[in-house]
């Protein structure tokens, strides 16, 4: 008898893009039948259950975030990665995170609220009275990009460029080719060179003439006599430009999609916006914006019933963990009063999302304004989604409106 291939067993990530429903069905099947699964063709291990995913994220010694051994050495990529704390392990991660956390405090984020309100108002005013808008280009994308650009002190007019960088760096990596090969590294290097040069010019400007912005604070931040060098700041600025963009946009579109699907929840939130924070957490669980987190094993390690050898890529599926019936009662019910709600959408452990307070603030403000201005909103024809193997959310979301 010939052995079945991974494709025949249905354990492989399909070659074509996948929608969220297909992925959820796959996750459900795999949590039951093969909670840890090796996909030899893609060269990755998949992990589906909440307890296993959480354990992987909590153990950076065994499950490393450093993939440099897979990448052919390349100057622009190395430079970009030097300050990218998402791709660092302890002790370098701790040094970088301590330094950037000093500049990116909850106080700094809270002080942004009036600006976030003003930017949201401006974007909504530009569409005043329109019967239909396209939520992504009219609000969900420009809002987080403008906020990050202002935080960093970068001109908001340059934001189409950030969008282009994000599209070429974030989306493909998180979708099909999990192991960066030489060709991919070359194409990434071209984008990174452009991004590094842009960021460096900005950083040098702030070293010469500090202002009231995050880059000026990063330039000055110091822990135990240590400062960040230019390359480390480049990596962090680049990470912020990419990390805070697609994910926050996706979350806002996901809230709108959920409210469209559950009109009783929309009515309850209109009547009392105090339920918004709980609703946002449930949307984060129910439609997980960043579907997998990626790690590399540093030693042979037992996960569930299997031993994953050293040097393997592991995809810890946050989107599957968030629907695990072992952790969440009635996981497929959308329940904005779910408590506790230990979803893993913002990560877990040392890499827990640094921008979580900012993302929550932006989306809450945007929703309060949307519910206040529009007595009705319904999703129109022509919604386009990201590939749900990487990002769960809409990249085009027509909305029909009634203004109050
Ligand atoms: C890390 C999700 C918004 C900055 C992470 C991680 C996740 C995540 C899952 C951990 C990844 C891992 O462990 O492999 C999200 C989601 C967001 C969001 C779903 C929106 C709803 C933001 C924003 C910013 C940001 C707005 C900044 C402006 C970061 C940074 C890290 C990170 C710097 C790396 C932290 C570290 O490695 O120590 N995010 N994020 N994120 N996020 Fe977010």
394 lines ligand 1 (CB under 6 A): no
Tokens of 390: 């990487």
What global pTM score does this model have? 0.93
Tell whether 108 is covered by a domain. Answer: yes
Whether the ipTM is more than 0.90: the answer is: yes
Task: Report the atom number in ligand 1 closest to the C-alpha of 144.
Answer: 26
Best CA proximity match to 154, nearest among 200, 102, 119, 111: 200
Tens-binned pLDDT, residue by residue, of the chain (404 aa): 344 445 445 556 655 678 999 999 999 999 999 999 999 888 899 999 999 999 999 999 999 999 888 877 778 787 778 888 999 999 999 988 998 887 788 888 888 999 999 999 999 999 999 999 999 999 999 999 899 888 888 887 887 887 788 777 765 444 445 566 677 777 778 888 888 899 999 999 999 999 988 899 889 887 778 888 888 898 888 888 888 788 999 999 999 999 999 999 999 999 999 999 999 999 999 999 999 999 999 999 999 999 999 999 999 999 999 999 999 999 999 999 999 999 999 999 999 999 999 999 999 999 999 999 999 999 999 999 999 999 999 999 999 999 98
pLDDT in tens, 305-330: 999 999 999 999 999 999 999 999 99
Residues 6+ apart with CB under 8 A from 60: 89, 90, 93, 349, 350, 351
Task: Report the atom number in ligand 1 closest to the C-alpha of 360.
Answer: 21
Q: How many CB atoms lie within 10 A of CB 376?
A: 13
Cα 248 to middle of ligand 1, angstroms: 10
Strand boundaries in 59-169, DSSP class E: 63-64, 132-134
Task: Report the atom number in ligand 1 closest to the C-alpha of 57.
Answer: 13
Tell whether 251 is covered by a domain. Answer: yes
Which residue out of 105, 151, 343, 355 has the highest number of ligand 1 atoms within 8 Å of its CB and is therefore the one to mutate?
Answer: 355
Which residue out of 353, 362, 391 has the highest number of ligand 1 atoms within 8 Å of its CB and is therefore the one to mutate?
Answer: 353
The domain of 274 spans 6-34+41-332+339-403
CATH number of the domain where residue 371 is located: 1.10.630.10
Burial of 308 from C-beta contacts in 10 A (0-12 / 13-18 / 19+)? buried
Which residue out of 119, 213, 214, 247 has the highest number of ligand 1 atoms within 8 Å of its CB and is therefore the one to mutate?
Answer: 247
Rounded to 5 degrees, φ, ψ at 375 are -75, -20
Tell whether 1 is covered by a domain. Answer: no
Tell whether 301 is covered by a domain. Answer: yes
151 lines ligand 1 (CB under 6 A): no
Tell whether 292 is covered by a domain. Answer: yes
3-state secondary structure of 344: coil
> Nearest C-alpha to atom 5 of ligand 1 is from which residue?
353
Tell whether 390 is covered by a domain. Answer: yes
Tell whether 389 is covered by a domain. Answer: yes
Tell whether 232 is covered by a domain. Answer: yes
Tokens of 251: 């979350």
Please state the domain count of the chain. Answer: 1
């Amino acid at each position: 008898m010939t052995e079945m291939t991974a494709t025949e067993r249905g354990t492989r990530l399909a070659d074509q893009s996948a929608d969220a429903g297909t992925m959820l069905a796959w996750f459900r099947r795999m949590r039951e039948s093969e909670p840890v699964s090796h996909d030899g063709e893609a060269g990755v291990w998949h992990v589906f259950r909440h307890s296993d995913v959480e354990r992987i994220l909590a153990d950076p010694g065994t499950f490393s975030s450093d993939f440099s051994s897979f990448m052919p050495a390349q100057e622009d990529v190395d430079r970009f990665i030097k300050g990218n704390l998402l791709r660092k392990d302890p002790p370098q991660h701790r040094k970088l995170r301590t330094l950037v956390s000093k500049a990116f405090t909850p106080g700094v984020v809270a002080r942004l609220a009036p600006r976030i309100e003003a930017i949201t108002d401006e974007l909504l005013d530009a569409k005043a009275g329109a019967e239909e808008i396209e939520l992504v280009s009219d609000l969900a994308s420009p809002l987080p990009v403008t906020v990050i650009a202002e935080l960093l002190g970068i001109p908001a007019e340059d934001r189409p460029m950030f969008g282009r960088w994000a599209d070429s760096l974030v989306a493909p990596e998180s979708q099909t080719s999990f192991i960066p090969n030489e060709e991919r590294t070359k194409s990434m290097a071209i984008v990174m060179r452009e991004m590094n040069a842009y960021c460096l010019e900005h950083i040098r400007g702030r070293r010469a003439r500090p202002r009231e912005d995050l880059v000026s604070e990063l330039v000055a931040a110091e822990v135990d006599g240590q400062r960040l060098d230019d390359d480390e700041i480049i990596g962090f600025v680049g990470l912020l430009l990419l990390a805070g963009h697609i994910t926050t946009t996706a979350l806002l579109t996901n809230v709108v999609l959920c409210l469209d699907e559950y009109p009783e929840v929309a009515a309850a939130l209109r009547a009392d916006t105090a339920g918004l924070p709980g609703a946002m957490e449930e949307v984060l669980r129910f439609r997980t914006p960043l579907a997998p987190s990626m790690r590399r094993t540093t030693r042979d390690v037992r996960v569930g019933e299997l031993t994953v050898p050293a040097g393997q890529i592991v995809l810890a599926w946050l989107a599957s963990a968030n629907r695990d019936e072992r952790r969440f009662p009635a996981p497929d019910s959308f329940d904005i009063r779910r408590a506790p709600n230990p979803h893993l959408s913002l990560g877990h452990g040392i890499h827990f999302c640094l921008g979580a307070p900012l993302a929550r603030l932006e989306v809450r403000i945007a929703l309060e304004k949307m519910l206040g201005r529009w007595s009705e909103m319904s999703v129109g024809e022509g919604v386009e989604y990201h590939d749900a193997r990487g990002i769960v959310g809409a990249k085009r979301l027509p909305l029909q409106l009634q203004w109050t």
